[in-house]
Amino acid sequence: MRRECDAIVTSLVNCLTSFMSGFVIFTVLGYMAEKRNVNVEDVARDKGPSLLFITYPEAIANMTGSTFFAIIFFVMMITLGLDSTFGGLEAIITAVMDEYPDYLANRRELFVLGLVVVCFLGSLSTLTNGGAYVVKLLEEFGVGSSIIAIGFLEAIAVSWFYGITRFSNDIKSMLGYSPGLFWKVCWVAISPAFLAYIIVSSLLKPPRLQLFDYKYPDWSITVGYIIGASSFMWIPIYMVYKLVWTPGSLKQRLAVCLRPERTIMPEIHTDSLNMSPVP
102: annotated binding-site residue?
no
Task: Output the pLDDT for position 80.
Answer: 83
pLDDT digits (tens, 9 = 90+) for 203-246: 787 767 877 778 888 888 888 888 888 888 888 898 899 888 88
Q: Write the DSSP assignment of 65-134 as a string of letters.
A: THHHHHHHHHHHHHHHHHHHHHHHHHHHHHHHHHHSHHHHTT-HHHHHHHHHHHHHHHHGGGGSTTHHHH
Q: Which amino acid belongs to residue 78?
A: I
The answer to whether the annotation marks 46 as part of a ligand binding site is: no
Given this model, what pLDDT does residue 174 score?
Answer: 84
pLDDT, greater one: 144 or 273? 144
CA separation for the pair 194, 202 (Å, rounded): 12
CB burial of 261-271 (b: ≥16 within 10 Å; e: otherwise) equals: eeeeeeeeeee
Query: Is 14 annotated in some ligand binding site?
Result: yes
Q: Is the pLDDT of residue 117 over 90?
A: yes
User: Residue 225: enclosing H or E segment and its boundaries?
Assistant: helix 218-229
201 neighbors 122 (Cβ within 8 angstroms)? no
230 is in an annotated binding site: no
pLDDT tens digits, one per residue of 70-101: 898 889 888 888 888 888 888 889 989 988 88
Backbone angles phi and psi of 218, in degrees to 5 = -65, -35
User: How far from each other are the two terminal CA atoms of the chain, in whole angstroms?
Assistant: 25
Distance in angstroms (rounded) separating the CA atoms of residues 125 and 268: 49
Q: Residue 62: which of 91, 100, 34, 92 has the closest Cα?
A: 34
Q: What is the pTM of this model?
A: 0.70
